[in-house]
């Protein structure tokens, strides 16, 4: 944790400047339309609006940052979306396609479910994708 005397970072200063300029622009637009009451009301509403917009952008960034495929059963391999399928290779199982991680564990995707493929070809529930948490353990229900 930073010391309280450390001051603000460059990013924090830029964000505050962006929020202040956005609030001033909205206040100026409101003042042009409704006069000084519009300016007084537009400044805090503009500040809150810009803050809300930045929060929405941050939420989209967090959702984009989630893995494309879940971590493997041993927790070693990841399905990072930036490298297409991460540590997984696409493999063919008869007529179906699936994934094999670097550990050698095979998986198949059925809808939102990520199923672990046993050596006999049967599938066992592993993870399921839910909004907004991403992949969570699948209880098989």
- Candidates 86, 89, 43; CA nearest to 68 is 86
String of b and e for 2-35 (b: at least 16 CB within 10 Å)? eeeeeeeeeeeeeeeeebeebbeebbeebbeeee
- Beta bridge pairs of residue 105: none
Answer whether 18's CB lies under 8 Å from 11's CB: no
> Domain coordinates of the chain in residue numbers?
7-65, 81-137
Please tell me the predicted confidence (pLDDT) of residue 140: 63
Tens digits of pLDDT across the chain (141 residues)? 555 566 778 888 888 898 899 889 999 999 999 998 998 999 999 889 888 888 888 777 766 666 677 888 887 887 766 665 578 888 888 888 888 888 888 999 888 888 999 988 888 999 888 877 778 888 865
Does the reported pTM lie above 0.75? no
Q: Helix 10-34 vs helix 36-65: angle between axes, to the nearest 10 degrees?
A: 140
Answer whether 127's CB lies under 8 Å from 139's CB: no
Structure tokens at 64: 């984009």
Answer whether 98's CB lies under 8 Å from 79's CB: no
Please tell me the predicted confidence (pLDDT) of residue 32: 93
């Amino acid at each position: 944790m930073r010391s309280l005397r450390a001051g603000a970072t460059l990013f924090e200063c830029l964000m505050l400047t962006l929020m202040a300029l956005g609030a001033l622009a909205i206040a100026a637009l409101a003042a042009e339309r409704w006069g000084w009451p519009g300016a007084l009301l537009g400044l805090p509403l503009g500040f809150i609006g810009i803050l809300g917009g930045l929060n929405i952008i941050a939420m989209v960034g967090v959702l984009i940052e989630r893995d494309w495929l879940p971590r493997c059963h041993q927790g070693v391999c990841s399905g990072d979306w930036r490298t297409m399928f991460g540590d997984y290779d696409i493999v063919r199982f008869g007529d179906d396609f699936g994934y094999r991680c670097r550990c050698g564990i095979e998986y198949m995707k059925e809808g939102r479910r990520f199923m672990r493929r046993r050596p006999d070809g049967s599938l066992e529930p592993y993870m399921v994708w839910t909004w907004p948490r991403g992949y969570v353990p699948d209880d098989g229900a």
